[in-house]
Each structure stands twice: as structure tokens, then as C-alpha cells.
């Protein structure tokens, strides 16, 4: 089956009361539209066409900035000439309704002559729809040899949805919008999801959709009645759930969608052996992978292309983005890890910041208020507290004392610090890059190291200590007569 997907995303979203285009409001860490694109991509269509309105540039930029953006071509008036892209945009210049939007999309499909297959129509503001439901729907559509199929669902509160009208033989004959429905029709709870599968030949019916005078729009729903009257085979499959098919038009609906999304993912991981202390307070991207027997405390955010190994413990207030956490790692409270690898049985935190480009070795320890950036730390290395390690290559079994800083930036360029296996870096040390500390070398506390340190040597850089006796006694006599220093023998 040749498949193309059209996503309708030109709605103005006025009820969101926000300058941000409706489809760019986020379901956790990605826009609603990206959620729909991801579900459509799971079907491996030959084309995905997105119909947008006046916010074309803003929407395109947002999709381009996603972690793995598709290759996009497009512009005003449709797809550009050249090699076919996996995703393209078409602009609906005026908000003339869903029927007109699908007409605009035909230009990117190459017209009826060039595309023969099935067009799946989705909506950019229905972010919870899954690839699994869409695959089931397309299977029913093809098995039934229908010209047009749609997904319906039973709504607890059908108000605002289009009602599915069936004949005495339970065959669909039309869809009536809520505002156009009679009192009897409003009691019908089977409603339209807005998801259609249309044979390419049936697209010719789009030109017969009448203008709704009251709204000044062409309703795609009208194609069902037109198709039925002309003898086309149509069907509606009541396979959707209300939660999955919910459209987001207001901020409260957005909040509800986020809650459903979060619960759906947490429930799936619980079935795979992940332990949550409070899954209602955990936020997980749908691209995250978590190993079994991992324990996750409240208020944890796992985002992007993150992989968590088996038997890990993630304590409260932790945020992990686009990172790989190997088996048995412990991430303690209030830690941020971005774009890095934490190897098996390492301990990170509390209050640590692992910035992008880090590789923390197995059984290493990154402790309180330690920041690491673009650095590699070998197995068993420890930086227990209050240090900055940037642009550094640090070997195995190194001890980094409190207050250590790799001074890697001279105002023009950044240089690298290398610390070889088994070195000991005393507290309050400044390592002025570029510099190398040899294998097994010791750096005395309070040193400023500007030259390379040979292996197995001691390096000390300190100002000579000077004691001035009686200085405090003289100072306090001048500043305060009330302060008296007792002499030996005084009672």
C-alpha cells in the first residue's frame, strides 16, 4: 500500500489565549504537532504533508529544532522542486476550513495523476493518537476495500463533536456538526475523531464540498454524505478511545492531555519492571528507555533520547536529558545531567551538574556541587565536592580535592587539562590549561599549577606563610576598648 499522510495544522487556536500557534504548545518536551508527526512516521508513509496557516515560519522552525527533525522542503504555494522530501509544508492562505485545507495539500501530493494510494488525514491538535491505533485503522480500511473510512469513538460528553449518523443497517451515511444537529442527533454519542483514510481517487469529491455560509468554511466532514450519495463505499470504525482522540483547543485541555500522556508512559514502564514512588510526579519523554528494576523517586524529569540502565536509582528533583545512564548508577537529589554518558555503578550528586559532552567512568563519584563539562573521567575517579572540571581528560583512580578548578579559558580560546591515572589533586587547586599532571603525581593543597607535573612527583605552589605575633592585640586595642585579651595568669 502506498501511503501519504496529511496533517491539518492551520487552526488559529484563539481559545488558547496565547501568541504561540496552537500546535506548538508542548506535550511535555515536544510540540503537539511533533507528537502527531512521530505517530505518523511510525507508519512509514512515502510523504507527510502539513497544512499550516500564517504561522508557517514559526511552525517550521520549531519542527526543525526538534532533537531529530525531518528533512523539510516547502514554502509559500507548496513544495519546492527537487528531490522529494519526507516532510513538506503547504500554506492555507485563508482559514477556509478543513475541506479547503485538504485541497491545498493535493499540490504536495503531486495531484491525482502522480499519487495513487491512500491518504491518511490527521489533525495537528490531537497529540495522543498512537501509531498502533492508526495501523489497526488502516488495516480495517484496506480489508473493507473502502473508498473513505474514518475513526469514530464513544464520547462521554459528545458536545462540540460531529455526530456519526447511521442508517437502519448501521451503515454510516453522514456526519452532522454539533451546531447543525437536531435535538435527537445531539443525543448520539458516537462522534467523529477527524481521522480519515481516503483513496486517492476519492479526492475528486473535495471540489463538491459546499461552502458553509454561517462559518464561511468548507467542512471535510461533508465528504462522507457526498460520497454516500454517489455510491462510494464508506465506513466508520469505532475503535478510538476518547482520551486518545481528544483535541486540544484550550489550556485546560492541554493540561489534561499532558496528564494522560504522563500516565500512559508511566504505566507502560511499570509493566516492564520500573519502580516509581509516585508516577504522577514523574515526567518521561516517549523516546526515553528505562531498564527493569530501576527505582525512580518523585519529581524526576527524563527527557529526549535518554537511556536508563537496569538497577539504577534516580533520587528526587533530578533532570536527565539526551544521556545514557548505565546499569547500577545512582543519581542523587537535585542533579542535572545533559548530553553525557554515566557508566556502570557511578554515583552522581547531590546537587551536581553534568553538562554536555561528558563521559563519567564506572564506579566514579561526582559529589555535592560539582560541575563537569566536556570532560572524560576514568573509572573509580572521585570529585566529591565543590569543584569545576571543564575540558579535561582525567584518568582512572584520580582523587580531586574540594575546590579544584580546571581553568580552561583564557579569554580567547579553551584549552585542555590532562590528569593521568592515580594522581592526587589537593583541595583548592587551580590547574591552568593547557597542562598535564603525570601518572601518580601529587598536587599540594592550595596550589596554582601552570606547568606540567612529572609522573610520581609532588608539586606545591604556595606563598610562604608569615606569622606576625601580637598583631591582633594591637588592632583590637585601637578599634575597641571593650575588647580585652587576657594575659597568662589573669583571672
**Element at 336 (helix H, strand E):** strand 336-338
CA distance 173 to 390: 67
**Element at 73 (helix H, strand E):** strand 72-74
**Element at 52 (helix H, strand E):** strand 47-52
Q: Can you say how many angstroms the Cα of residue 268 is from the centroid of all Cα atoms in its chain?
A: 18
CA distance 246 to 241: 8
Residue 437, Ramachandran bin (φ over 0: left; ψ between -120 and 50: alpha; else beta): beta
Is residue 475 within 8 Å of residue 489, measured between CB atoms?
no
**Contacting residues for 280 by C-beta, under 8 A, at least 6 apart:** 262, 263, 266
Q: What SS3 state is found at 479?
A: helix
Q: Is 385 a catalytic residue?
A: yes
Is residue 50 within 8 Å of residue 87, measured between CB atoms?
yes
Q: Which residues of 206-215 are buried (b: 16+ CB within 10 A; e: fewer)?
A: beebeebeee
Q: Is the dihedral of CA 181, 183, 186, 188 positive or negative?
A: negative
Is residue 185 within 8 Å of residue 165, measured between CB atoms?
yes
Catalytic residue, candidates 25, 141, 353, 385 = 385
Task: Write out the catalytic residue numbers.
Answer: 385
Amino acid at each position: 500500500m502506498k501511503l501519504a499522510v496529511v496533517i491539518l495544522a492551520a487552526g488559529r487556536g484563539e481559545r488558547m489565549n496565547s501568541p504561540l500557534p496552537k500546535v506548538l504548545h508542548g506535550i511535555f518536551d515536544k510540540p503537539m504537532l511533533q507528537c502527531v508527526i512521530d505517530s505518523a512516521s511510525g507508519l512509514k508513509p512515502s510523504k507527510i504533508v502539513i497544512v499550516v496557516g500564517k504561522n508557517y515560519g514559526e511552525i517550521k522552525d520549531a519542527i526543525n529544532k526538534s532533537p531529530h527533525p525531518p528533512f523539510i522542503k516547502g514554502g509559500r504555494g507548496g513544495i519546492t522542486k527537487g528531490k522529494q522530501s519526507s516532510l513538506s509544508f503547504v500554506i492555507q492562505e485563508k482559514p477556509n476550513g478543513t475541506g479547503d485545507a485538504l485541497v491545498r495539500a493535493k499540490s504536495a501530493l503531486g495531484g491525482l495523476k502522480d499519487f495513487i494510494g491512500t491518504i491518511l488525514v490527521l489533525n495537528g491538535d490531537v497529540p495522543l493518537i498512537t501509531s498502533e491505533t492508526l495501523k489497526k485503522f488502516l488495516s480495517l480500511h484496506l480489508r473493507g476495500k473502502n473508498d473513505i473510512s474514518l475513526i469514530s469513538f464513544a464520547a462521554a460528553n459528545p458536545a462540540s463533536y460531529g455526530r456519526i449518523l447511521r442508517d437502519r443497517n448501521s451503515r454510516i451515511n453522514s456526519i452532522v456538526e454539533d451546531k447543525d444537529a437536531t435535538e435527537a442527533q445531539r443525543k448520539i454519542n458516537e462522534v467523529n475523531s477527524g481521522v480519515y483514510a481516503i483513496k486517492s481517487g476519492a479526492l475528486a469529491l473535495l471540489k463538491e464540498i459546499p461552502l458553509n455560509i454561517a462559518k464561511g468554511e468548507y467542512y471535510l466532514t461533508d465528504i462522507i454524505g457526498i460520497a454516500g450519495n454517489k455510491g462510494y463505499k464508506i465506513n466508520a470504525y469505532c475503535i478510538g478511545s476518547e482520551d486518545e482522540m481528544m483535541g486540544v483547543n484550550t489550556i485546560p485541555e492541554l493540561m489534561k492531555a499532558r496528564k494522560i500522556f504522563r500516565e500512559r508512559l508511566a504505566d507502560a514502564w511499570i509493566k516492564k519492571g520500573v519502580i516509581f514512588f509516585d508516577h504522577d510526579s514523574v515526567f518521561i519523554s516517549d523516546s526515553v528507555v528505562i531498564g527493569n528494576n530501576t527505582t525512580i523517586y518523585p519529581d524526576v524529569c527524563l527527557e529526549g533520547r535518554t537511556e536508563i540502565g537496569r538497577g539504577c536509582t534516580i533520587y528526587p528533583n533530578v533532570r536527565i536529558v539526551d544521556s545514557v545512564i548505565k546499569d547500577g548508577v545512582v543519581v542523587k537529589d537535585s542533579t542535572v545531567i545533559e548530553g553525557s554518558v554515566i557508566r556502570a555503578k557511578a554515583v552522581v550528586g547531590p546537587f551536581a551538574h553534568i553538562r554536555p559532552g561528558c563521559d563519567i567512568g564506572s564506579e566514579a563519584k561526582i559529589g555535592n556541587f560539582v560541575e563537569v563539562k566536556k570532560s572524560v573521567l576514568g573509572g573509580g575517579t572521585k570529585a566529591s565536592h565543590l569543584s569545576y572540571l571543564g575540558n579535561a581528560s582525567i584518568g582512572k583512580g584520580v582523587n580531586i580535592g574540594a575546590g579544584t578548578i580546571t581553568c580552561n579559558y583564557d579569554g580567547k580560546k579553551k584549552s585542555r587539562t590532562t590528569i593521568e591515572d592515580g594522581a592526587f589533586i589537593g583541595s583548592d587547586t587551580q590547574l591552568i590549561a593547557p597542562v598535564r599532571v603525570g601518572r601518580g603525581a601529587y598536587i599540594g593543597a592550595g596550589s596554582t599549577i601552570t606547568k606540567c607535573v612529572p609522573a610520581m612527583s609532588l608539586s606545591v605552589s604556595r606563598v610562604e606563610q608569615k606569622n606576625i605575633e601580637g598583631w591582633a592585640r594591637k588592632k583590637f586595642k585601637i578599634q575597641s576598648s571593650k575588647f580585652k585579651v587576657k594575659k597568662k595568669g589573669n583571672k
